[in-house]
Amino acid sequence: MYKAPVEEIAFTLKHVAGMAEALAAGTFGELGEDLVDAILVEAGRFASEEVAPLGEVGDRQGSRLVDGAVRTPEGWRELYRNWIAGGWNGLTAPEAFGGQNLPHMLHVAAMEMWNSGSMAFALGPTLTMGAVEAVEKHGTDALKSAFLPKMVSGEWMGTMNLTEPHAGSDLGALKTRAERRGDGTYRIFGQKIFITWGEHDFTDNIVHLVLARLPDAPPGTKGISLFLVPKFLVNDDGSLGARNDVFCHSLEHKLGIHGSPTCTMIYGDGKFGEEKGAIGYLVGEENRGLACMFTMMNNARLAVGMQGIAIAEAATQKAIAYAKERTQGRAPGWSGEGMSPIIEHPDIARTLLTMKALTQGARAIAYACAHAVDMAHACVGEDARHWQERSSLLTPIAKSFATDAGVDVASMGIQVHGGMGFIEETGAARYLRDARIAPIYEGTNGIQAIDLVTRKLPLSDGAHVRGFIAELKRIAAAVAASNREGFGDTAARLDAAIADLAEATDWLIATLGGGRLADALAGATAYQRLFGLALTGAYLAKGGLAEAGDGREDRRIALCRFAAENLLAETAALKDRVVNGALSLAAARAVLD
């Protein structure tokens, strides 16, 4: 059973991702290390003791649609009540609406642990927090006071309604209609698919944020507006009013995250209310809905990255436990009686260490991204811009590298379990099934790569990414200067990986500058992975270098060395694919016809 790795998480936050310096500098106000530790311990306890035990039942029973109502798995309603009673829903929300205004770094760390317990469960609150953010940033005061307090407390949950059958990655194609009622409110008509936690029995009301198009809107993405559409209208005194004209038509039958209801939502079908059309309230300006969505998109992408890390951590723990217990054959050098635990076989040990290195690398990248979000929030002027760019740059890497790691590590976890891994009751297979959605939703990892190459590399005319690479080089230099034997060949290998990153970066910036977009995009995914691997090497090294005084430095250094000498060599192949792969890709295109 999953046990939250609170110490490792705290160490990574503080000594790898930059929280220690921020705390020392007073960046987070009066927040001190004691409170950070206390929150992590309690979030970890909740994840290990309350969420994780209900993960399997959620997978097995799933959420079901019965007579128009969604029934969540046994025990999940109580779990949700306990979760909001713990104040977890409002961790980062503004104090004005009942939140605790804590740093995003703490939030992603806690999210990681809840997602390890049950990704399907933790996904619901993640959506609510995104909705809170959008309303808080773009809603009118009236809208905020009517909805935010209960969304912050978790008494009501929120959803995001973007996708339609023909509009997934390309939101410009969406067709849901909004009509002005003349009193400042709107009526919404249309069908939305893949709406996560679109209907359920956790809360009395559900607050849908819905992208729709006004009759006179320009075509494409510039004609999309954002509306808040509650399941039940809210009276002036805050009590629930009439049922709004929106309902859940069906649930998807999915590969994983069975506990999370994925709904087709129908707006304005006339099923509820006297007049057809779901009543909606504009969030932000008309036709500027996509800008409102983008506000929260980065954080949502990072949140999905946390799911990948969460699954990777849980799968790794499970595989290590199994490999210590299961005996089979005799490993070379095994001197014990009878069969050796399979962890003694070099191939199993290698697999487990790879799982650990990918998990820890992805975690460090994601926490560093959250640190940048917090710094951008706390700083002003040039500093704010610097950290804004850093978080923008890191977001697609964190999302893609972590979610790929989630899938890969979960798959390795099954392999370590042998035949037992294929049996559902073992639980290893669930991790792969759950993890598989994360590289897809909130922008496929291919779209993250396009974003990274075409929008993030050009930040500050390429100066930001180059400055970041220079920082990474200093980490490699510090490893060399440390003279710690345990690092082995880390310094040279990390240096080489960063040089590959630098070369691929320069090539992409030049290629984009030369207007050769297709050539740049041909290697975008390889580049994204190259960046993630180089960062994994650098951050593992930073962890190894940190004087944590917790006596675990040698183990951190050993894992760093393992990654440097076993995983980083891949960067050369990835760089090669970026720089040399486009021509043969174009030449082979006809093979697909």
Torsion, Cα 405 406 411 413, to 10 degrees, reads 100
- Does 400 bind its own copies (CB under 8 A)? Our answer is no
Smallest gap from Cβ 320 to its own copies, in A, equals 6
Residues contacting residue 228 through CB under 8 Å, at least 6 positions apart: 135, 139, 143, 147, 207, 208, 209, 210, 280, 281, 282, 283
Instruction: Map residues 184-203 to x or -, x wherever contact with its own copies holds by CB under 8 A.
Output: ----------x---------
Smallest gap from Cβ 201 to its own copies, in A, equals 23
Give catalytic status of residue 337 as yes or no. no
Closest CB to its own copies among residues 159, 205: 159
Q: What is the 3-state secondary structure (H, E, C) of 458-524?
A: CHHHHHHHHHHHHHHHHHHHHHHHHCCHHHCCHHHHHHHHHHHHHHHHHHHHHHHHCCCHHHHHHCH
Give the residue, chosen from 332, 381, 549, 551, that forms a contact with its own copies under the rule CB under 8 A: 332
- Does 254 bind its own copies (CB under 8 A)? Our answer is yes
- Does 351 bind its own copies (CB under 8 A)? Our answer is yes
- Does 221 bind its own copies (CB under 8 A)? Our answer is no
Distance of CA 197 to the CA centre of its chain: 17
- Does 532 bind its own copies (CB under 8 A)? Our answer is no
Instruction: Map residues 151-170 to x or -, x wherever contact with its own copies holds by CB under 8 A.
Output: ------------x--x-xxx
- Does 146 bind its own copies (CB under 8 A)? Our answer is no
Q: In the range 427-446, which residues lie near its own copies by CB under 8 A?
A: 429, 432-433, 436-437, 439-441, 444-446
Q: Which of 317, 196, 248, 257 is closest to 58 using CA atoms? A: 257
Q: In the range 301-320, which residues lie near its own copies by CB under 8 A?
A: 320
- Does 253 bind its own copies (CB under 8 A)? Our answer is yes
Q: Are 355 and 312 in contact (CB under 8 A)?
A: yes
- Does 346 bind its own copies (CB under 8 A)? Our answer is yes
Give the residue, chosen from 25, 34, 216, 333, that forms a contact with its own copies under the rule CB under 8 A: 333
Closest CB to its own copies among residues 38, 518: 518
Closest CB to its own copies among residues 43, 265: 265
Q: List the end-to-end C-alpha distance of the chain, in Å, as a whole number.
A: 48
- Does 251 bind its own copies (CB under 8 A)? Our answer is no
- Does 53 bind its own copies (CB under 8 A)? Our answer is no
Give the residue, chosen from 13, 449, 498, 502, that forms a contact with its own copies under the rule CB under 8 A: 449
Give the residue, chosen from 255, 470, 481, 510, that forms a contact with its own copies under the rule CB under 8 A: 255
Amino acid in position 431? Y
- Does 588 bind its own copies (CB under 8 A)? Our answer is yes
| CA dist 321 → 2, 125, 324, 352, 428 (Å) | 10, 30, 5, 10, 12
Is residue 181 helix, strand or coil? coil
Smallest gap from Cβ 334 to its own copies, in A, equals 10
Is residue 242 helix, strand or coil? strand
Q: Which of 21, 442, 547, 565 is catalytic?
A: 442
Smallest gap from Cβ 186 to its own copies, in A, equals 27
- Does 250 bind its own copies (CB under 8 A)? Our answer is no
HSE-CB of 532 using CA atoms within 13 angstroms:
31
Q: In the range 484-503, which residues lie near its own copies by CB under 8 A?
A: 486, 488-489
- Does 263 bind its own copies (CB under 8 A)? Our answer is no
Q: How many whole angstroms separate alpha carbon 287 and alpha carbon 156?
A: 27
Q: How many whole angstroms separate alpha carbon 502 and alpha carbon 182?
A: 56
* Radius of gyration of the chain measured on its C-alpha atoms: 24
Residues with catalytic function: 442
